[in-house]
Structures are given as structure tokens and as C-alpha cells.
Structure 1
Amino acid sequence: MTAKSWFKLHSFAGFAFGLLLLLVCFTGTLAVVSHEIQYLADQKYRALSERQGPVPWQVLEQNLAKAYPDYQISNLNVPEQWYLAGSVSLNKGSEFLFVYFDPASGALTGEGQWGTVSRFLRNLHMYLSLGPTGKIVVTSLSFLLLIILVSSFYVYRQWWRKGFQLPSATKVSSRTFWSDWHKWTGIWCWGFILLMFLTGLWYFTEHFLLKFKVEHYPNAPKLELVTAQYQALSLTELMQAAQKARPELDIRALNYPLSERNAVVVVGQDNSLLVRDRANRIYLNPVTAQVIQIQRAADLKALAYIADMADPLHFGNFAGLGVKLLYFVFGLGFTFLVAGGIWMHWLRTKRQQPQLIRWLGWSGGLSSVLVIAALVVTSVQFSQREVENLPLSPQLGALH
């Protein structure tokens, strides 16, 4: 291929679905710091102090029982970042509620509904709020990233000489300004975009592994049907049993089952490299707290380990605020690359005075429709949550 052919390919990959790619990049960038945005907006999302040891589960449960005696716990989560409050999902019939707490003391910090800034951004970023079809559309963009990454080497020759030289063009209205800054930003963001391509490609692959039920992750154990009256144990009792089974585990989350055949799932971190909390699991009998099965991150096979690495690598939530901010900066750079590419395409073609529809083309038109549909549907649906099955957990008021 000639240099001109590579340029056309690079331009097509960046512009064809540029508006959609811009939306996904920008919402993903904001999603990285979505919990920090909530932290700044409302004090209920803020931890009161840094946690030095295990969460005081008994104190937390007592506080929940006093404030919400008619509710049941569905699940709870403790964030990686110490400054963020933990959250508990509560149900009372069809009513749903988030309650936030300080992981260090178990004190309650506030309550809220399903619709949050984080939920809005993640729904929009991950699948455009368009279900499985939206997931395929978003993850398919990884193939465009591959074309952009490969073609950039042929479009920008001897790029390694330019990385430490700031562009000299200062006239914002000129195409030279946008071209120079586009190239310079691309050099510094190339590795980040490669990471987004790899994780996006995994999400695309994982979608079809799940769709066609290809085994790639350990199955959860099933319980025998309970013949006697079903009475799940308290949060405190279950957490004590889980901690006893794995004393070194920093417990981060618990999920009560929705069916009598399912176990309670407790997850956490054990210093394994770059994995989600769910990589380490303890399955408990909800009635007896007996340990049914233990899953360790170190024992996972390659595909399963990749599945649990993807989210931390994609969103940068595997460490502290510094890593998140680094991802945020690179995300802004990536967003600038996409926006700048679209603008340069316009500057290159505006002399021909094309109509908007003709300039966008069929791919740009489709991209525009998807962007508008995603924004509308997400705005309407992100705060809606239907409770289909109640958790098999005890009523909080009955525990004390």
C-alpha cells in the first residue's frame, strides 16, 4: 500500500463512525472518574476515614437494622479507593434503595436510588443502553482502533523523533494546528489506545463466549433444594465464616442468592495481580454458612484470568487515585484525537461545500442516529430498575 492509501484508510477508520467513537471515548473517560465526580457532588459518597482493617460488618448490620428494619440486603460493595463510601443494595418488596456507609466504622452516610452519575456513564459507554446489540456495536469499535493503530505508523513516518517536540502551530483555525497536535497526541496515547483495543477485543470475544455458552470461567456451585423452612443467616455470620475460610482475604463484596439453588457469594482481594474482586470467591451455604467452594485468582486458567483482568485494565480502577487520573488524562487525549480527526476531515472537505448528510455519508449518518438514540434511551432508562426476584436474605429488623 502507498502512503496515500494508508492515509485514506486511517482517515476512514477515524471518521466513518467517528461520532460514535467520540461518544464512547468521552463517556469512558468520565466513567473512569465517575465515582470521584459523585464524591465531589454529594458527601454521602465519601468515606469518613481510611480503613485500616476489615470492615466492621456487625456494626454495619446493626446500623442498617436500626435505620431500615423492614428491608432485606441484596448485596454490598466496598470500593478499592479508601476515600469512597461503600454501598448496600436494599429491597422491600418492589422497592429498591442504595445505602452508603463508611467502610472504616460501619456508620451510614446516606441513601440514594438506582440512577447515579456512574450508572448513566457506564450504561452509555458499555452498551449505549441498547442491550446486547449495543454491546456488540461498542465492542466492534475495537476493530477500528486496530486499523487506526496500524495505519498511524505509515501515516506519520519517523514518529519517534517528534514525541518530545511540542507542535509549533498556534493558529487554531488552521488545519496545520490540528494536524500537528493530532500527531503529537497520538504518539503519547498510542500505548493507551492499544490497551483499549485489547480490552475492547476481549469484551467482544467474551460476549460471544457467553452467548454461545462456551465454557471459559469456573461455574458457580449449585445447592440441593432445601426441604425445611429456608432461613438465610445474617450478614455478620456469613462474613465471619468467609473470613475464617480465608483470613488473608480483604473482603469487598457479598451477594445474597435469588434462588434456593444458589449460594451466597463473597469476593475480595488477596494481592493477586490486576484482577477484579470476583476473581477470589467464597461460596457459602446461606442457611448454615458452610463453605461450599473456594475460588482463588491464582488457580484460574488463562481465559478466566483475562476475564477478570479486563475491567481493571480498561477502567484503571486497580489502584489509587493517581492511576485513575492518569487514565483520565490519556482518555482526554484519546477523545481529542477523535474529535480532532473529525474536525480535520471537515476542514479538508469544506471547500467543496458538501451538504451535512453527504459529508457524513451512510456510516456517519448511522453513527449519528446511534449516538442520539443512546443519549435519549440512557436518559430515560438509567434511573429505572425493576426488582424481578427478591434476595433470599433475612429481614434486617428480625435480626435484633
Structure 2
Amino acid sequence: MIDRKKWHKWHSLAGIKFSILICFILVTGTFAVVSHEIDWLTNASQRVWPQVTNDKVNWPAIYSSAIKINPIDPVISLHAPLDPWFAAQVLRRNAKGDRYRQFFHPVSGRYQGDGRWYNWQRFFRMSHRHLMLPTLYGITLVCCLGLVMFVSMISGMVIYPKWWRGFFRKPRTGSCKAFWNDVHRLFGLWSSWLLLVVCLTGIWYLLELWGLRAHVPQEHYQLSPQAEAEAVRPSAAAFTDIISRVPQYHTNLAIKRIRLPERPGESVIVEGQDGTKLVRDRANNVEFDPVSAQYLARRYASGQSFHVRISEAADPLHFGTFAGIYSKAVYFFFGVLLSALAISGTYLYGLRHTRVHRTIPVEGSKVWRSS
């Protein structure tokens, strides 16, 4: 049986050996939670005032406006505003094959401006998800570090007896080491629930990457000959027809994204939410023929297997998007605590290795040289 001293050793090693990477993943993950809001602050084209609720989004007007502004670059997808103060977004691809964004007023369809594909949201997502490395290696490395953080959390609970009593314990101020030790423990206690969530979902991402990906049964349907032969961009009339038919086949579907064909044999896919808890937008969808606007297939999140439901719940739980801006604010606050936890743990390791008495002031330069 591992005693408390060995647990403490493993806790310290798990934190200090990977401290830089762990800090980077936690910080970028914290900012990834609010990355869309950062883009909203830095790009005036994304802002809408007065606010507009999602059920008032005029999809045909947005699509028609996008085609009128640029009839050449194909539209890849249309996205609903994340919150009432966001503009609707249209994703396009230029002649070089590069993606870019356009923003439109959700009701009038008025064009508001452009945005780059590689914005703050993409930067923080790619940095956090796979460290800008090739996806297979990057995700594997990040998820394995999630396992390390999980071990650190468990060992932290073992080395602090009756840890549940420390949620409201004021940090001691008698010495630098005692203070930071109590602060580290306090941050760890209050952010432990978030660490558990992100570690478990990170482990799930790793399992999915290496073969446990959920299989979603695909319906077979026949597209029109033109849609089979080429990637068809729906006409304005066909697009309007598609939007008007969505309620017939998927009642109460709040449209979040509309994906248009990029390759031959692809359909128009309307995705969204219907009240089912903890699912991505793609979990509910309706497919239509891009030429005739005829109904092809549909998918209900509530009718999927348990394996699929776990897979669909991973992103909402990992990034805290399940309750909009409110859950994201909670995730951001405790993400800051988690980042501070990693930094304070590294500092404590340095203090411990200076081997000074608690009553003697510690020089910062000594701490970092010794660590």
C-alpha cells in the first residue's frame, strides 16, 4: 500500500515535471471557454444592438445577402448568433481555398463586415486541443497530461487528511511557505470539480481518438442527379423552401447551424437544439436535397444510443457551453483558479527545495534557481 509520503512525492513530481505544459493547457483552455466573447470584443462586425433572440433569425435574408455581396465564393455554412448580442456568421471559401467569415444582422440580413478564419477562438482552441501539433500527436499528448492532472488531484486528496474541512479555512500568514501551501490547497479544493470534469472528458477524447469513437447510423437516401454530380449551392428560393420545411420534420428545432454541400453527393444539413440536454448542435439535424429542397433524413439526439450520448456530451461538459454565457462564466472563473493552482504548486516546489525555515524570508531568485 502506498503511504502518504509516497503520494506526496508522486503529487509533486506529476506537477513539477510537466508544470510548463500543464500551465499552458490550463490557461489556453480557460481562455478557450470565452474565446468567442474575446472575438466579439475585438471585432465590431460581430456586435448587434439592440439584442436579437435566436428565434427571430431570418435565415433566407442572411443567405440572400451573402450571395448578393459575393456570388462567386461558395458558402460553407451559416451559424446562428451565440447570444442575443452576437451577429449571425457565414463561413465561406475563397478562390485559393482559404476560409473566412462574414457577419450579418440576424433579422435584416444586413452585411456588417468580415473576419479571419484564424481568429482568437481558433487560436485558443488549437493551442489547447493539440498544442498546434499534428492532431493525432497533439491530442494524445494533451489527453495524457489530463491523466497526469487526474493523478495529481487524487494524490492531493490523499496527502491532505480530512480535506473536505478546508473549503472555508483562511490561509495562514505566518510564513511564505505556509501561506502558499494553504492557498494551493484552497484553490485545489474549490476547482476540484472542474478538474475532474475536464480530466474525465479528456480521457474520453483520448479513447475516441484511438478507436472508441461512437458510430451514428446513417440513413440512405437518393439525391437529385445534379447534386450527385457536383457540390450544389442552393438557390435563394430552394434555401427558403428548406428553412420553411424544417418544422415539419423536426418539431421545436432551434436552428444553430446550416451546412451546405462542399463535395458532390452532399446534402444541406440543418442542425440545432430541441431541448435535449448536453448534446452538440449536430446531434439534432434534418437533411434536404440542395436542388429540389426535398426532405431526405433526420436525426434526434434523444433517440441515439448511450455511447453516442456520452460522445455528444463531451464538448458541452468540457467547455461549459451547456447553459450559455452563465455556465461559461462559471467555467472561466474556476479555470482561473485551476491555472493559479498549477502556478502555486510549482512555486511551492521551489520553496520546498530552498530548505529554509518558515520564519526566514525567501528570495524569489533562489526559489526559481533551485527548481
In which range does the TM-score fall when normalised by the shorter chain? 0.7 to 0.9
| Alignment deviations for residues 186-215 of structure 1 (CA, whole Å, 9 cap, x no partner) | 1111111111111111111111127xxx65
Deviation at 1:143, TM superposition (A): 1.1
1:159 Cα offset (Å): 1.4
Flag the 1:252–1:179 CA change in 2: closer, same or farther, 3 A.
same
Query: Is the 2:23–2:342 contact (alpha carbons within 8 Å) kept by the matching residues of 1?
Result: yes
In the alignment, structure 1 segments of 5+ residues that lack a partner are: 360-400
Range with bigger deviation, 35-44 or 129-138: 35-44
SS at match of 1:188: helix
Quickly say closer, same or farther: Cα 1:200–1:110, change in 2 above 3 A.
same
Q: Distance in 1 between matches of 2:266 and 2:159?
A: 54
Whether the 8 Å contact between 1:87 and 1:99 is mirrored in structure 2 is yes
Cα distance change, pair 116–188 in 1 and its aligned pair in 2 (3 A): same
Q: Which residue of 2 aligns with 1:176?
A: 178
Q: Which of structures 1 and 2 has the larger relative contact order (alpha carbons within 8 angstroms, sep 6+)?
A: 1
- Say which of 75, 81, 84 aligns to 1:82: 84
- Output the CA distance in 1 between the equivalents of 2:179 and 2:370: 26
Runs of 4+ in 1 over 6 A off after TM superposition: 352-358
In the other structure, the counterpart of 2:64 is 62
> In the aligned structure 1, how far is the partner of 2:317 from the partner of 2:146?
15
Matches of 2:308 and 2:199, distance apart in 1: 19
2:216 aligned partner: 217
| Contact 1:276–1:309, Cα closer than 8 Å, also in 2 | yes
Structure 1 counterpart of 2:288:
284
Aligned equivalent of 2:119, options 116, 119, 129: 116
Q: CA RMSD in A?
A: 2.5
Aligned residue in 2 for 1:37: 38
2:304 to 288, 293, 300: 300
TM-score, scaled relative to structure 1: 0.82
CA contact (8 A) 2:73 2:92 kept: yes
Could you tell me how far apart the structure 1 residues matched to 2:305 and 2:333 are?
33
> Do structure 1's residue 160 and structure 2's residue 164 form an aligned pair?
yes
In the other structure, the counterpart of 2:74 is 72
Shift of 1:81: 2.2
Offset at 1:224? 5.8
1:83 shift after superposition: 2.0
Change (3 A) 1:125 1:87: same
| Number of equivalences | 354
| Aligned equivalents of 2:163, 2:192: Cα separation in 1 | 11
Cα distance in 1 between the residues matched to 2:71 and 2:83: 29
Change (3 A) 1:227 1:328: closer
Identity %: 32
State how far apart, in whole Å, the 2-side matches of 1:232 and 1:50 are: 28
Structure 2 residue identity aligned to 1:41: T
Compute the displacement of 1:221 (Å).
Answer: 4.6
Give 1:150 deviation, angstroms.
Answer: 1.4
With 46-55 and 259-268 compared, the bigger mean Cα shift is at 46-55
Deviation at 1:256? 1.4
Separation in 2, partners of 1:291, 1:240: 11
Amino acid at match of 2:250: R
d(CA) in 1 for partners of 2:258, 2:54: 20
